[in-house]
Amino acid sequence: MAFSVNTNNNAMAALQSLNKTNKGLDQVQSRITTGMAVASTKDDSATFVTAQALRGKVSDLKAVTGSLSNAKSVVDVAVSGTEQISDAVNQMKTLAKQAADSTITADQRNALDTDFKALVKQVDTVVNASEFNGANVLRTNAASGTVNSISALQSLVNTNSSGGYTADNLTVSNQGLTVSTSGSTTLLGMDSSIGGNNNTNANNMIGALDTYGGKVKDALSALGSASRNIDAQLSFSSKLNDTLTSGIGNLVDADMAKESARLQSLQTKQQLGMTALSMANQGPSAVAQLFRG
């Protein structure tokens, strides 16, 4: 082996090895600090891009969950209102049948009518109050006579390679249960009265209540089904979110046990590398011994 004071091959080799060890230590320390094996595209481009795409889907699910939660609140309020309306309609039917009795007096019939009208007003109040965040699926728009449904975002479907999305909506129809308490009514179709000198109004109202009661039953069925569908979709979205989050973790999270073992190994290699570099740097000084007598 040639002796040279200009070139120290051993020192250069030791320095390269030490630099590699230090780079490995920096990587391990970064993983320990962030908890991630792939924190940047510089670490692993393919894995990072895949993880970012999955994170985008998790963000989509947040929008879906928010929309479904809002719809659930609207429907839950409507269900509570419709259940109360159903109870009131049953009471109204009882009063109407009592008023239809031809053996009672007009005063008795009018007394029943007072209670009846109070219940009609109660139904009207419940319909108008069954609102959440400006949405009401029980109330008919009195001005236009139209009813408004709500549409909850239940998923975002990737429809093409360019990244376009189509919203998949869960629709809850308006039940149109509005009842006007000022004379003519919207759904009962006649003056809201069971009073009078005879039982004509009461008999007519019994038929109208059967029609309205049928609408209330249909509303209870439709809203109950919508509530169950929303709950099922929320449960699925939650599970899907957990699965995606776990998948992202599998791709980018660091294995702390392995990183701990690697840290110990690299620290030992660093100490040995420093020793080797120190010994290599002492090589040129040995050349001076050749010139001593």
Which tokens belong to 87? 């109870």
Same domain flag for 217 and 111: yes
Of 168, 164, 159, 79, nearest to 126 (Cα)?
79
**How confident is the model at residue 185, as a pLDDT?**
45
Domain CATH number, residue 66: 1.20.1330.10
Each residue's pLDDT tens digit, 61-101: 888 888 899 999 999 999 999 999 999 999 999 999 999 99
Mean pLDDT, the chain, integer? 81
Same domain flag for 248 and 273: no
**How confident is the model at residue 88, as a pLDDT?**
94
What's the chain look like in SS3? CCCCCCCCHHHHHHHHHHHHHHHHHHHHHHHHHHCECCCCCCCCHHHHHHHHHHHHHHHHHHHHHHHHHHHHHHHHHHHHHHHHHHHHHHHHHHHHHHHCCCCCCHHHHHHHHHHHHHHHHHHHHHHHHCCECCECCCCCCCCCCCCCCEEEEEEEEECCCCCCEEEEEEEECCCCCCCCCCCECCCCCCECCCCCCCCHHHHHHHHHHHHHHHHHHHHHHHHHHHHHHHHHHHHHHHHHHHHHHHHHHHHHECCHHHHHHHHHHHHHHHHHHHHHHHHHHCHHHHHHHHHCC
Same domain flag for 221 and 271: no
**How confident is the model at residue 287, as a pLDDT?**
65
- The better pLDDT of the pair 274, 246 is held by 246
In a domain, 206, yes or no: yes
Lowest mean pLDDT among 50-54, 91-95, 171-175, 274-278: 274-278
**How confident is the model at residue 184, as a pLDDT?**
45
- State percent of the chain over pLDDT 90: 24
Each residue's pLDDT tens digit, 166-214: 667 788 888 888 876 454 444 454 557 788 888 888 888 888 899 899 9
Lowest mean pLDDT among 59-73, 107-121, 178-192, 265-279: 178-192
Same domain flag for 223 and 247: yes
Mean pLDDT of 125-148: 77
Same domain flag for 136 and 263: no
Question: What is the Cα–Cα distance from 64 to 248, expressed in whole angstroms?
Answer: 19
In a domain, 37, yes or no: no
- The better pLDDT of the pair 95, 278 is held by 95
User: Which range marks the domain in which residue 53 is found?
Assistant: 45-252
In a domain, 33, yes or no: no
- The better pLDDT of the pair 28, 61 is held by 61
What is the amino acid identity at position 250?
Answer: N
Same domain flag for 103 and 80: yes
Is pLDDT above 80 for 232? yes
Number of structural domains in the chain: 2
Same domain flag for 213 and 274: no
Same domain flag for 272 and 164: no
Question: What is the Cα–Cα distance from 87 to 122, expressed in whole angstroms?
Answer: 11
Each residue's pLDDT tens digit, 55-72: 888 888 888 888 899 999
- The better pLDDT of the pair 3, 58 is held by 58
